[in-house]
Each structure stands twice: as structure tokens, then as C-alpha cells.
Structure 1
Amino acid sequence: MKYKAEMHSGRGLSENNLVFLAQKAFTTTSNNPEEYRNMTISWAQFNRESLPGRNFTFWQWFDGVMELMKKHLKPHWNDGAILGFVNKQQAQDMLLSKPNGTFLLRFSDSEIGGITIAWVAENPNKAGERLVWNLLPYTSKDFSIRSLADRISDLNHLLFLYPDRPKDEVFAKYYTPPLSKAVDGYVKPQIKQVVPE
């Protein structure tokens, strides 16, 4: 309810999203939603104790996700372009069964208010082997410089949004229009994202 209210969106959290959040909050791995229905979270688990291996609490992480979404990614959430609540292993399992260039957007486990792009591609060091790659998470600071849609447009190796939607079909309406001709004798520079090979 909090997420839907904060986002002012018709798209709330799915049962899979809620299971992901329960796994994170209770530090468990069960995928069975019934196991979480009668569990209660203590205040310490919610906002006092750091998540395992992290220096932030569950609430700090979740609040960071909501802030990032509200400020920069709400239209993409509403369009269903962001899976979000998927861990690194789940992303790998989902992507390895898809064609090269398939990608998804998931919230970072290690960065408060971060989102990362995971995609499947050939291993450049071993012919025939495929790997899932993860970009360093983007934060609000990154999106104040260049939008998510423009960053995705920049990356030519990203072809299909999971499971099989062409990226331009999903993101083109959010791309920044090409720069116009020089004004007053000045040409405006443009920032473009590149991923080293």
C-alpha cells in the first residue's frame, strides 16, 4: 500500500514483488508466499538492524527505491518496463534462456536508491559461452545527468526488454530528441554512455 500510494500509480506490487521484499526483510530464500502471510517483522528488522553484508537497513533500501522511482523512473514503472524486485541470481536465471541482447532492469541490492541493467551476451573470452552482465547501479545523480531511456538507447548491445519486447518499442517515446543546429554560433555538446568491451 505504501509503495502504490507513494508512486501515485495504478501499478502496485505483485505477489512476486512482495515475496522478494519478504525474502530481503526476513533474510530467507523461500519462494512460497504462504510462508510469509502470518509473519511479523520487528522494528529492529525493519529499520534498526543492517541487512546482511550491508551498512543499511531494509527500510533505508526500500525508501531509496521509492525515491528513485518517484523522481526519475515512474513512467517506466507504469509501463511495466522495470521488473525491479529481482535479485542478481534470479536475473541470471531469467536471462540465460533468452536471446543475446535481452536485458532487464532490477533494483540494486548493494546501493540504496540504485537500479541496474542486467543483460545476456556472448562471453568475449570463450566462444559459445554466454554470460549475464550487470552494469554498475545508476542513482538519482546519474539520472539528473542523463535519463534512463537515453542511457538504454546509447547501449547498442541492448536489444530486447525481458522477455521479448524491442527496446525502441518500449523506450523510444522517452528518448531526448536529437539536438538542433547551432544556435548563436555554438554547437551544444552531447553526453553519451558507453560500456567498454
Structure 2
Amino acid sequence: MSVVMSEMDMESSSAFSPSEPDIDSAFVSKHNQSAEIYQSFKDDVDALLAGKIAAHDQPAFIQRILHKSESLLIAFEDEKQHLMSDVLLAWAIKQQRASIGTLWTQQLHYKQLDTIHLQFEYFGELLQQTLSGLNYLKQYFPNSGFDEMHSKLVSLVHYFLVLGGSAFGLDNLGEGVQVQCYLITDETAKQLLNNAYLEIFESEEFAIEPPTGTFQKKDTRGLRAKFDDMAIVETPQKNSDGPSIVQPRMFTMNAKQHLINRLKPNQQGFIQLDNFMKMPVAEEYQLKKSSTTDGEWKLVPFYEWFLKLAEVVNKYLYSMWYDGLIFGFCSKEDAENLLRSIPRSVLLVRFSDIEYAKIKISVKDRNGEIRHHWYEHTDLNARSLSSELLANQRFAQIDLIYPDIDLEVALGGREKPRIRVPRNLEDEIYFDNQAAATSF
């Protein structure tokens, strides 16, 4: 029995979670509560295995251990629910948004998996220690209650085979093993977005068909499951190479104020979630099925309008956005006022407030006349916006990009039109001399 006790003592050395600043306080509280119940459970198991309980007292003592194991299961379920919903699912949903952002925002968000892995590691370790104790009880004190409790705890294990898997020896045995991983898929995320996050916990698993992941060793920090649909950068050519992370251009205060006003905050300055998820702010013309001309206008909520613009910028306009050539979020009236404040001819590139995924070019020409042009984001497949601004005669007489950026310098210069001029013909003496030059 002393060997059994020493093994359990060694296993329980790190039951309590350390007070690390990167781990959320809710998890620390829940995990330490689980650890306290486990410690009481372990003390009773140690006493029983060490022979400290008289034979006539053992039945009642075993019932006491079973009661504590039930309390421990409830605590584990609560901790599991927090990790799966408040931590992992929240990360996965946010990842869908970060996937259309810049590489910098994606990389920053993706690094949070290290912290999530650590949280699952703590929980997985405590779960493994509890299962180990129940195994000893099943071996030395056979009881249907221990069998039932062991079975219930084993049902939790599949959640932690990917994250926190080293507690089960996966870091030594699992490299290259194919597993079914319960992480959210892109398709599930789309359904959640369409459902505005309502009733998302009806199913324990947050995946329609769990994707297959392969365990891979990463340095000495445990195992991760590699999911192709969550990949954010291609594998560098060399181990020493890494992706170039560029800090994105931040929103100006004017842009932030414009977006906040569109979300209609209340008198206390708070924005309702429904305003972000459901409030219509733009329109999109959609063709009816089997028609090339007949369609109808569809209202677009704020989140869809905003995220589509982020996608358009990332796909077509990233360089211009990063270089400050796109003003961005601005109403038509504000754009006209800004253009009037500039004495020279100038244009301003902005996002349409009312038409879904359209780019607006507001222009003030040399006569002071203001006009507005628009482009579908699909138009940018054929020609980049910078090329359009240089080549289109609508913008030929424009000197600046708001506020004072020389258009030709910023975009590379316009192509000069070819001016047709008469050929410079040789005089008559040249032709007269050709006969002499070629005669023998």
C-alpha cells in the first residue's frame, strides 16, 4: 500500500493551478475549487488504502468517498463547461473574425492557444489523478459505485485528448496519431453567425463532423492538433524563418466615432449586442434565382457590413490601407466637408455607409465641383484601385489624395498619353543623293 500512496502523492504534486496572470480568474477559481474537493477525496482514499480505517467502518467510509467523488464530478462538469464554452468556443468564434484580418491580428489571436492549452493541461492532469485513484479503489476495494464513477469520469476524457493531452501520456505515445477533434469548424461558425449566437449549446460538441487532426510535437511544450482550416500562415521554408508580422494601421478617432455613432449607443454609452448583430445599416441588391436582372434589396446588419469591408481591404486594398491612402469610414456629408477644406483638387477613398461592400471615391476637381463615384468590390478583380485612379480619365486632373498626399508620387505616376505628331521626313537633297550613293 505504501507504494500506491507514494505514487498518488507524486501524481498530486501539482493539483492546484498556479496564479499565472495569463489564465483567467474564472478558470483559476473553478479549478482550485475542483482541486480542493480532489484533495479531500485523495486524503480519504489514502486513509483507506493505508489500512487506517477499521473493517467495520469501511462500508460507511466508502460511501463517504463516493459522495465526495460525486461532488468532484459536479465540479469537473462545471470546469469543463467553462473551458469548452467560455474559453475554447469563444476563441474559435473570434478566430473566424480574425481570419479575415491582417496577419498581425491573426498571429496575436492564435498565440492565445498556448494559454488555452495550459488551462486544459491543468484540468487534464487533475482528471487523470482522480481516475488513477479510482483505479486503485476498484482494484483493492471492488464496488459498483467506483465502477460507475470511473465510467462517468472517463466520458470527460475525450475533450482533453488534444489540449492537455500530456497528462495522459500523449506527448510520448501520440505523435502522428489521427484523432477526431472536437473543435469548431468554419461551417459551424457560419451557422452560429447566422443564428446570432442563440441556442448554441444544444449539442455538447461544437462541430457537425469533427475534423481529423494529427498530433504533432512542438518543441517541448506538449502536443497540439494541427487543423488545416485554422492555419493562418504557410509553413516557412526554413525552421529559422518566420512570417513577417506587421503591426496594422490603427483606426483614427474620427473613424471610431463614426462607427460608434452607427451602432447607436445608449445614454450611458453602452452598445447593445443586438445593435451589432441585427441592426440593419446597409442594403445589398440580390438577384432572384434563375434571373439575371430581377432582384430585390436585402437589409444587411452592422456586423456583416463591417466584416465584409475588412475582407475587401485584406484582399484588395491592404497596401493602400496600410499606407494611409484610404480614409475609410466616413459619411458622404463629412467627405464633402473635408474635400472643401483642401484648396487643390483632391480625392478621398471611403467605404459606403449604405451600400454593401462598395468603395466610394469622393472627388473635388480643379473647379471646386464635388462628385462621387462607386466601385463594386468585384470590380477590383480586373484592375486594382491604384491602377484605376491612375488610368481613369475621371481622375486625370486630380492632384492629391486626402489630405495632402501627391497622387502620382503615392501610386507610381500616370501613363502619359501618346501625342500624334507628323514624322520628321528627310529633305529632297537626301533622296537625290541616294542614286549617286548606290550607282557604280
Q: Which of 360, 369, 379 lines up with 1:142 in the alignment?
A: 379
**What CA distance in whole angstroms lies between the structure 1 residues aligned with 2:282 and 2:317?**
27
**What CA distance in whole angstroms lies between the structure 2 residues aligned with 1:26 and 1:112?**
19
- 1:73–1:52 Cα change, 3 Å: closer
Indicate the residue corresponding to 2:410 in structure 1. 170
Q: How does 1:43-54 map to 2 (within 5 A)?
A: 43-51=273-281
Q: Size of the alignment, in residue pairs?
A: 160
The question of 1:108 aligning with 2:346 is answered: no
Query: 1:160 offset after TM fit, Å?
Result: 0.7
Query: 1:27 offset after TM fit, Å?
Result: 7.7
Structure 1 runs (4+) deviating above 4 angstroms are none
Indicate the residue corresponding to 1:85 in structure 2. 329
Query: 1:119 offset after TM fit, Å?
Result: 1.0
**What CA distance in whole angstroms lies between the structure 2 residues aligned with 1:49 and 1:6?**
23
**What CA distance in whole angstroms lies between the structure 2 residues aligned with 1:150 and 1:27?**
39
Structure 1 spans left out of the alignment, 5+ residues: 29-34, 124-129, 177-197
Structure holding more helix per residue: 2
Query: 1:62 offset after TM fit, Å?
Result: 0.6
Q: How does 1:1-197 map to 2 (within 5 A)?
A: 6-8=101-103, 9-26=247-264, 39-51=269-281, 55-121=299-365, 130-136=368-374, 138-154=375-391, 155-172=395-412
Taking structure 1 as the reference length, the TM-score comes to 0.71
**What CA distance in whole angstroms lies between the structure 2 residues aligned with 1:150 and 1:52?**
28
Percent of aligned positions that are identical: 25
Structure 2 spans left out of the alignment, 5+ residues: 1-96, 104-246, 284-297, 416-440
Give the structure with higher Rg (CA): 2
Asked whether the 8 Å contact 2:365–2:398 carries over to 1, the reply is no
Query: 1:61 offset after TM fit, Å?
Result: 1.3
**What CA distance in whole angstroms lies between the structure 1 residues aligned with 2:282 and 2:348?**
25
Asked whether the 8 Å contact 2:279–2:301 carries over to 1, the reply is yes
Asked whether the 8 Å contact 2:328–2:351 carries over to 1, the reply is yes
How far does the alpha carbon of each residue in 1:112-147 deviate from its partner, in whole angstroms, 9 at most, with x for none? Answer: 222111111266xxxxxx3321102x2321000111
Taking structure 2 as the reference length, the TM-score comes to 0.33
How far does the alpha carbon of each residue in 1:15-66 deviate from its partner, in whole angstroms, 9 at most, with x for none? Answer: 22111100111189xxxxxx8xx62222221111212888211111111110
Asked whether the 8 Å contact 1:84–1:115 carries over to 2, the reply is no
**What CA distance in whole angstroms lies between the structure 2 residues aligned with 1:26 and 1:39?**
9
Query: 1:100 offset after TM fit, Å?
Result: 4.5
After superposition, the CA RMSD in angstroms is 2.9
Indicate the residue corresponding to 1:127 in structure 2. none
